[in-house]
Amino acid sequence: MDHYVKPEVYYPDDDIEKVKEQGVLKYRSERLPTWCPGCGYFGIETALTNALSSLAIQPKDLIMVSGIGCMGRYPFFVRGYGMHTLHGRALPVASGAKLARPELTVLALIGDGDGLGIGAGHLPHTIKRNPDITCVLFDNAIYGLTKGQTSPMTPQHQVTRSHPLGNPDPKMNPILLALSYGAGYVARGFAGMPDQMQVLFEQGIRHKGFSFIHIMSPCVTFDKVNYLYDNLRSWVRPLPPSYDSTNLDKAFDIARGEELFTGLIYNKTA
Ligand SMILES: Cc1ncc(C[n+]2csc(CCOP(=O)(O)OP(=O)(O)O)c2C)c(N)n1
Ligand code: SF4
C-alpha cells in the first residue's frame, strides 16, 4: 500500500501550495495505520484527507478528536492536532476545542459502539448546542476493537460474539437521531464510495454549525454477515438529483424509510 508508506520527506512547515500539490500525501503522519487490511476505515481516511486537501486546510489548522475503538486511532495516522479521548467524549472535547480556538477546523470522530452506545449521552446534547464541528460516525455495526461484540448498529437477531443466540435488540437509527435533535447538516455515505464521501466531508466541514456524517464501513475481520462490501454496495442508493435536501419533512421520510440512501439528506442552510 504505497499510500501508507512513511514519507521520505516530512514537511514541518505548512505551505499551502504544497498542500494543493501533494494532496493526501501532505496528511500522512509518521505512523503507519494499524487497521486490518481491507478495513473500510482506509477509505474513510482517504476521502477525509482528500477533502481537507481540497479545502486547503493545513494540518496546523486541524484538530481531530476521537473516541475509543479502531476508529479512535485516526488522529495518530493523519497529520494535524489530535486527541484520543474516551467513549463519546470526542464530542465535548471537540466542542471545547472549537470554543477555545474558533479558527480551527474541528473533526469529532466517533464509532457506533463508542458514540451511539457506551458514550451515547453526548450526541443529542452536542447536536442541540450546534457547535461548528464536523462529526463523522464510523459505523461498522459491530465492536471492532474488542473483537466482534454487538453494537447499537448490529441488526436484530444477528449472531455475534456477545450474542451467540442472536442480538435481541433492534438497531438504532443515527440519521433519525441527528435530525430529531436539530442537526443542520446530515449526510450518509459508504466507505466503498470515496468520491461521494469526499464531497460530503467537504460540505460538512464548510457548513457553519454541527454536521453529522454517517459512514457505513465494513469490519472485514469481525463481521462476516452484515456490512460486507458486496452487501453494502447492493443496499446503498445515491439520493436522486431531484431530491430537495432543504426539506426537513423529506429528510425525516428518508431517515425512517427502509432504503439506504446515501448523500446529503438534510442541509438547513442550502
Ligand atoms: C466503559 C467501557 N466499556 C467497554 C470498553 C471496551 N471497549 C473499547 S472499544 C469498544 C468498542 C468500540 O466499538 P466501536 O465504537 O464500534 O469502534 P470500532 O472498534 O468498531 O471502530 C469497547 C467495548 C471500554 N473501553 N470502556
Ligand atoms: S477489527 Fe474491524 S474495524 Fe478494527 S481495524 Fe480490523 S477490520 Fe477495521
Residue 164 has pLDDT above 80, yes or no: yes
Distance between Cα 56 and ligand 1 center (Å): 33
Mean pLDDT within 24-52: 88
- Ligand 1: which residue has its CA nearest to atom 7? 146
The atom number, within ligand 2, closest to the CA of 41 reads 8
Q: Does 16 have pLDDT greater than 70?
A: no
227 lines ligand 2 (CB under 6 A): no
Mean pLDDT of 140-151: 98
18, pLDDT greater than 80: no
C-alpha cell at 26: 501532505
Q: Quote the pLDDT of residue 106.
A: 98
Q: Which CATH number fits domain 36-267: 3.20.20.100, 3.40.50.970, 3.40.190.10, 3.90.1170.40?
A: 3.40.50.970
- Hey, what's the cell of 74? 485516526
Which cell numbers in the block locate residue 19? 498542500
In this predicted structure, the answer to whether residue 9 has a pLDDT above a threshold of 50 is no
Whether residue 145 has its Cβ less than 6 Å from ligand 1: yes
Confidence of residue 23 (pLDDT cuts 50, 70, 90): low
- Tell me the CA–centroid distance for residue 5 and ligand 2, in Å: 20
Distance 46 CA to ligand 1 centre (A): 23
Residue 19 pLDDT exceeds 60: no
The response to whether residue 144 sits with its C-beta less than 6 Å from ligand 2 reads yes
Domain ranges of the chain: 36-267
Residue 3: pLDDT band by 50, 70, 90 thresholds?
very low
- 17 contacts: CB under 8 Å, gap ≥ 6: none
User: Comparing 185 with 14, which gets the higher pLDDT?
Assistant: 185
DSSP letter string over the chain? -GGGSPPSS---S--HHHHHHHGGGGGB-SS---SPTT-THHHHHHHHHHHHHHTT--GGGEEEEE-SSGGGGHHHHBSSEEEE-STTTHHHHHHHHHHH-TTSEEEEEEEHHIIIIITTTHHHHHHHH--S-EEEEEE-SSBTTTTSB--TTSPTT---SS-TT---SPPP-HHHHHHHTT-SEEEEEETT-HHHHHHHHHHHHHSSS-EEEEEE---TTT-SSSS-HHHHHHHEEEPPTT--TT-HHHHHHHHHSSSEEEEEEEETT-
87 Cβ below 6 A of ligand 1: yes
- Ligand index nearest the alpha carbon of residue 136: 1
Give the number of whichever ligand sits closest to the CA of residue 222: 2
| 119: nearest Cα among 135, 106, 102 | 135
Q: How far apart are CA 211 and CA 171, in angstroms?
A: 22
Q: Which of 1, 35, 71, 137 has most ligand 2 atoms within 8 Å of its beta carbon, as the pocket-test mutant?
A: 35
pLDDT higher than 80, residue 11: no
Point out the ligand 2 atom lying closest to the alpha carbon of residue 70: 4
How far is the centre of ligand 1, averaged over its atoms, from the C-alpha of 145 (Å)?
Answer: 6
For residue 182 the three cell numbers come to: 436539530
Whether the predicted pLDDT of 4 surpasses 50? no
pTM for the whole structure: 0.93
Q: Residue 40 CA: which ligand 2 atom is closest?
A: 8
Angle 202-26-185 from CA coordinates, rounded to 5°: 15
Q: pLDDT confidence of 175, banded at 50, 70, 90?
A: very high
Q: Residues with Cβ < 8 Å from 14, sequence gap 6 or more?
A: 58, 59, 60
Counting from 1 in the atom list of ligand 1, the atom nearest the Cα of 71 is 21
Mutating to test ligand 1, I would choose from 45, 66, 68 the residue with most ligand atoms within 8 A of its C-beta, which is: 68
